Copies of this chain bind each other. A is one copy, B any other.
């Protein structure tokens, strides 16, 4: 665990609510905070298409409160919120394609429930520190690289529109209603406990599953450049954001020191695993319309404000992620 960011004196005894807490990032965060002595409550509705998985909290069940509840359930959320010191708002529908075929569910979870949550904070706990996990998705197709926060927001799918609305809600509730919010725009986050059943959370998930099941990795296109953050580096960022009350309400990018194209990434994964193969396939037409080409982001602004920087190499991330799923595969497929 990274001591610089962990700051036990801040987190010990602190009451923390994590929405999406059984999901990939939420569960990793919950585990780390519990180890630092925080009183952690996680909220998750375990919707089968999303990232929530109680196995992610394996071994921690008695050390935190697991509250199954949909963030659209306003009354329950208010009762859970009122006495918390920090809210990590991580719940969300993450599939871009699902948002195009079922825009209403994405609307409810990623947009309406976010407004409701902020109204609830305003009503029952206006002093809670709120950290919202947004996504590079809101930028759409980059006009320049690396993408900084000066880049226009031009989402190319319904999911991106709603994440953008949620960001803007957080920012306006900070400025207008004096809530204490900070938004981080995450790029591709990977690591243990991510969803690997399919590509709903990240394409890397299904790659790892296929590799471990001796199936070829299917790489769409292959030349697209991406950046990746290890989930542990993202936890550092989320915790720093919570501790830094002086941050802007305007969103901050995370990002990586390394970039890689998808073919090279697949080959690196195969090398680490020691076997496997990849099938390069043409980009399907339905996906082409929401493709964004190359993407990587600049995290300079967040680094300037907090000294955060990603510490884990892509190689290490891929290695420890693969190792995790080699030992825990049945719980994730």
Closest residue on chain B to residue A100 by CB atoms: B176
Contact with B along A194-209 (1 / 0, CB 8 A): 0000000000000000
**Taking A153-B152, A153-B153 as contacts, is the C-beta distance between A289 and B111 under 8 angstroms?**
no
5 A-B contact pairs sorted by A residue (CB < 8 Å) = A152-B153, A155-B172, A158-B169, A158-B172, A160-B168
Hey, which chain B residues are within 8 Å of A164, CB to CB?
A: 164-165, 168
Find out whether the CB atom of A169 lies under 8 angstroms from the CB atom of B161.
Answer: yes
Find out whether the CB atom of B103 lies under 8 angstroms from the CB atom of A107.
Answer: no
> A108 to nearest B CB, angstroms?
9
The secondary-structure label for the interface of chain A is helix
* Candidates B119, B155, B176, B289; contact of A290 at CB < 8 Å: B176
Find out whether the CB atom of A111 lies under 8 angstroms from the CB atom of B165.
Answer: yes
Closest residue on chain B to residue A177 by CB atoms: B100
> A292 to nearest B CB, angstroms?
13
Check A262 for interface membership: any CB of B closer than 8 A. no
Contact with B along A140-160 (1 / 0, CB 8 A): 000000000010110111101
> A248 to nearest B CB, angstroms?
13
Q: Which residues of A contact B (CB under 8 A)?
A: 100, 103-104, 107, 111-112, 115, 119, 150, 152-153, 155-158, 160-162, 164-165, 168-169, 172, 175-176, 289-290
Give the complex CA separation of A91 and B153 in angstroms.
25
Give the complex CA separation of A114 and B154 in angstroms.
18
> A328 to nearest B CB, angstroms?
37
Find out whether the CB atom of B156 lies under 8 angstroms from the CB atom of A289.
Answer: no
Give the complex CA separation of A289 and B176 in angstroms.
6
Find out whether the CB atom of B157 lies under 8 angstroms from the CB atom of A176.
Answer: yes
Give the complex CA separation of A168 and B155 in angstroms.
8
Hey, which chain B residues are within 8 Å of A289, CB to CB?
A: 175-176
Find out whether the CB atom of A168 lies under 8 angstroms from the CB atom of B161.
Answer: yes
**Taking A161-B168, A168-B155 as contacts, is the C-beta distance between A115 and B104 under 8 angstroms?**
yes
Give the complex CA separation of A63 and B244 in angstroms.
63
> A176 to nearest B CB, angstroms?
5
Hey, which chain B residues are within 8 Å of A103, CB to CB?
A: 115, 119
Give the complex CA separation of A37 and B152 in angstroms.
42
Find out whether the CB atom of A165 lies under 8 angstroms from the CB atom of B161.
Answer: yes
> A323 to nearest B CB, angstroms?
39
Give the complex CA separation of A152 and B147 in angstroms.
14
Give the complex CA separation of A178 and B282 in angstroms.
22
Give the complex CA separation of A100 and B172 in angstroms.
9
Hey, which chain B residues are within 8 Å of A165, CB to CB?
A: 111, 161-162, 164-165
> A23 to nearest B CB, angstroms?
25
Closest residue on chain B to residue A104 by CB atoms: B115
Give the complex CA separation of A162 and B290 in angstroms.
22
